[in-house]
Amino acid sequence: MSIGVGILGASGYGGAGLIERLLRHPEVEIRGLGTRQHVGRLATAAWPQLAGLTDLTFSAQNEVIERSDVVFCATPHRATAPLVAQARSVGASVIDLSADFRIPPSQYARWYGVEHPHPELFPEARYGLVELHREELCGAAIVAAPGCNATAVSLALAPLAAESLLGPEVNTSVITGASGAGRGVAEDFHFSELNENARPYKVGGEHRHIAEIEATLGRVTAMGKSLSTHTEGPGPTVTFTPHLVPMTRGILATCVTRPENNSLDGDGLLGLYLEYYAGDPLIHVQPQLPTTKAVTGSDRVLVSVRFDPRTGSVIAFAAIDNLGKGAAGQAVQGFNAAFGLDETLGLALAGGWP
């Protein structure tokens, strides 16, 4: 029997990725596409790549919630929590791509500027970084899909955290494509502003994904790979510097730390990573450095690690597609884990090279 799913925010980039993956998912039936802008229009009017593949139309979000067993929310931060509350009131489970249930309500105001509108629902939520939270996700009523940057950095560093090999400080830098800002129009994302240009943004502790990264690394440091979503542990201080570069999609994270253990070497580190991620179908640990093009259009993560004997530093890398493993693919993987399905159902494993 198929699981009836609805997608809110279906006219945005995250929504498009969900439509594509759930159309090919063998265990689901899409019962509605919610939007505030295109009610009554065919989905193909917003997404021409779906021509001939579906005759679904956009509906009001309330209608989609009412006829769905599971609601995927690809809607903005702060506006999503009320939709989650509405879905839970009619008994629907929720896969939330926004940030509204990623961090505790006590921290939410610090990072998102407003008090959390539905703190009473937070105990139902489970952080949806599947590789680190599989057991907790089974049967979850609310799956909070992680942020794209937080995903890349956390997965690059988790094996080190599990072995207490992170130094007291971690310096992380990411480059990211323009699609991470969504489909809306802003001056910085006009072609003439973005093309042949690169810029750092939200530096000096301003980026909201820092809260997720530090919390995740603290949990891994405390418990290794068998985590509890609500277990807190002392974690490193993370310096996070993102850069917008002129590409459509992709994230490459470069993370540097200096462990107190000086007996490391490159081969040992690579072996540690291979062992830690053994059996994870969407993570590929490789000796060569990862590239964003190799994961474009896919839901996998490419991870590598190096040791710098001159400085005693470990440099960890992760590449993801911000719209795949960083958004829609991650959400569908979390849905699969919550419902006891094969994690890879509906997902894309190969990237779009060249």
Catalytic residues: 148
Distance of CA 180 to the CA centre of its chain: 11
Alpha-carbon distance values, 232 to 100, 219, 238, 319 (Å): 19, 5, 16, 27
Strand partners, 289: none
Residue 198 CA to residue 33 CA, distance in Å, equals: 35
Residues 6+ apart with CB under 8 A from 161: 217, 220, 221, 235, 236
Distance of CA 170 to the CA centre of its chain: 20
The dihedral formed by the CA atoms of 156, 160, 161 and 166, expressed in degrees to the nearest 10: -100
DSSP summary character for residue 246? S
